[in-house]
Amino acid sequence: MNLESNAYGVLLASIASTSWAVFVYFIKRALMNAPVLKVTAAMTSVNAALVTLIAIFFISAEDFRGVTATTLAFAFLAGFFHIGISRSFYYRAIHRIGPNRSIPIALTYPVVTAVGASFMLGETPTISIFTGLAILLVGITLIVQAEPSQEPETEAQNAKWKLFGWISAGVTSLLWGVAAVFFKKASLNLHPLATAAIALWVGAATASMLMALSRGEESRGPIPASAWRWIFAAAACQAIAVPLYNFAFVHTLAVRVTAIISAQPLIVLALGWLFLREMENITPRLVLGALLTVAGTIVVIM
């Protein structure tokens, strides 16, 4: 892998990370007084349509020559886990505990990949893994103990409702950690835009199925008209981030891509302080916790 290709991959991953950081504030706005699972299905469908339109201009029939059923299966698995299942948990976490609390936990997913490879593939765990996990644990503890976000009274919920938000952030991390491997394998043998489009449509179908099967409040009622502008804005950010994320895997090492993406909480904190101060309650404990989760994640995957 030459230096120019590596630099290009780092740039693409950085743009994807920034797009995702902006995205979480659009989706937070979209989720206000709206059924979470319906917003998830709608946003993912719009996201898939946008990426497909982009793909039409860049992909030719030649890009599908030699594509195997195994490659398509990895793209489907990435869509099912990383897009369909995880987003239903991810958006719940953002809705219930706010972006600045859910993102640092969700973005620890590279640790799942690194630790899983060490223990499941027979690789010897390193000192950096144990050190990073210790730093990560302290960071998550500080985030959980930080003062809660300042939700409007109409959205104030009980402790059990908030607890599911924390659990959802953790589940998101696990799902993303597993699915990162699927995205990597699919993107190496299939055009990254095609991988993104396939995964997003599979994710949209999965999210719609989860919405249809749900009987809870998070799938009842219409999406307010005021939420649609935020849904389209969030989908546009995802339409930038997901393809660039896949392209970055092709140009640089997966560990570098995931390290850049895992630094996203620092961007999220800055945006939260600028735009959602009255809701997000940015405290020194929260900032320190986010810094430690980023540092711990990077130490593990070094």
Tens of pLDDT along 206-263? 999 999 888 776 777 889 999 999 999 999 998 898 888 878 877 777 667 777 777 7
* Residue 221 pLDDT: 82
Establish how many alpha carbons lie within 13 A of residue 176's alpha carbon, considering only the half-sphere containing its beta carbon: 24
pLDDT value at 47 more than 80: yes
Model pTM score:
0.78
pLDDT value at 201 more than 90: yes
What is the chain's mean pLDDT, rounded?
Answer: 80
Euclidean distance between CA atoms 74 and 184, whole angstroms: 9
87's tokens: 């987003």
Q: How far is CA 85 from CA 77, 160, 245, in A?
A: 11, 21, 19
Could you tell me which residue, 28 or 3, shows the higher pLDDT? 28
Q: Give the other-Cβ count within 10 Å of 5's Cβ.
A: 12
Euclidean distance between CA atoms 125 and 248, whole angstroms: 27
Euclidean distance between CA atoms 165 and 167, whole angstroms: 5
Contacts of 268 (CB under 8 A, 6+ apart): 21, 24, 99, 100, 103, 104, 290
> Where residue 277 falls among pLDDT bands split at 50, 70, 90?
low
Euclidean distance between CA atoms 108 and 172, whole angstroms: 9
Euclidean distance between CA atoms 211 and 84, whole angstroms: 11
Say if residues 76 and 249 touch (Cβ distance below 8 Å): no
Euclidean distance between CA atoms 34 and 25, whole angstroms: 15
> Where residue 147 falls among pLDDT bands split at 50, 70, 90?
low
* Residue 155 pLDDT: 47
Euclidean distance between CA atoms 93 and 290, whole angstroms: 16
* Residue 104 pLDDT: 80
* Residue 44 pLDDT: 93
> Where residue 205 falls among pLDDT bands split at 50, 70, 90?
very high
The residue-averaged pLDDT of 38-49 equals 93
* Residue 154 pLDDT: 44
pLDDT value at 156 more than 50: no
Q: For residue range 72-128, what is the model confidence (pLDDT) as tens digits?
A: 999 999 999 989 999 899 998 888 888 778 888 887 777 776 666 565 545 566 777
Could you tell me which residue, 196 or 151, shows the higher pLDDT? 196
Say if residues 200 and 50 touch (Cβ distance below 8 Å): no
* Residue 272 pLDDT: 67
Say if residues 159 and 91 touch (Cβ distance below 8 Å): no
Q: How far is C-alpha 263 from the geometric centre of its chain's CA atoms?
A: 12
* Residue 279 pLDDT: 54
Which of 209, 257, 187 minimizes the C-alpha distance to 87?
209
